[in-house]
Amino acid sequence: MIPAVSLVVLAGAATAANASGESEDLAGLSCSPTQTAITDVPHRLFDAWNRGDAAGVAAQFTTDGHMIPSNGSYLTSRTAIASFYTSAFAGPLKDTRMIGRPLTVRCLSSTTAVIDGLGGLLKPGDTYTDPDQVPIGQRIIVSWTAVRVGNTYYMKEFQSTSIQG
């Protein structure tokens, strides 16, 4: 098993939507400036991951963003995230790729959203296109909080769990 599978696995052409059944005061709330800006974060992150670009992965977080990858590390800054992925991309995550899709996107305010997703770590030679196809142990479930800075969303909090069975 490869440790540190920890990417936001929210790719595809998914459009952010408010969760139904939330409290009435959140009903109809829209994240600004556009709903799709929220799902731009994983696209940028996947692009950096698939290039093995640790600084690019870290750049998708706020400067004080927190990350808890599947291996249980607790990373508390963009600098710590970049350092973690520099080592990971040189070692156990070398030449890996990520795929995924959002499960839910819930707007908490006009500048904050919580996203849950399903994804998978692709080892060299893997050709899976859907996270449901990715073998257990390579499949992850994630939750992250995105915040808007200007017209761009960044990850503020992120946690992933490897699905084991």
| pLDDT single digits (tens) 103-122 | 888 889 888 999 899 999 99
Given a contact cutoff of 8 angstroms between Cβ atoms, the answer to whether 82 and 55 are in contact is yes
Mean pLDDT of 22-34: 48
Residue 18 has pLDDT above 90, yes or no: no
* Residue position matching structure tokens 């992850």: 140
Q: How far is CA 16 from the centre of its chain?
A: 14
Q: What is the mean pLDDT of residues 128-136?
A: 95
Total Cβ atoms within 10 A of residue 95: 11
How far apart (Å, rounded) are the C-alpha atoms in residues 66 and 54? 15
Please give the Cα distance from 76 to 50 (Å, whole number): 23
- pLDDT at site 22: 36
77 has a pLDDT exceeding 70: yes
Confidence of residue 21 (pLDDT cuts 50, 70, 90): very low
Name the token pair of 16.
Answer: 């952010």
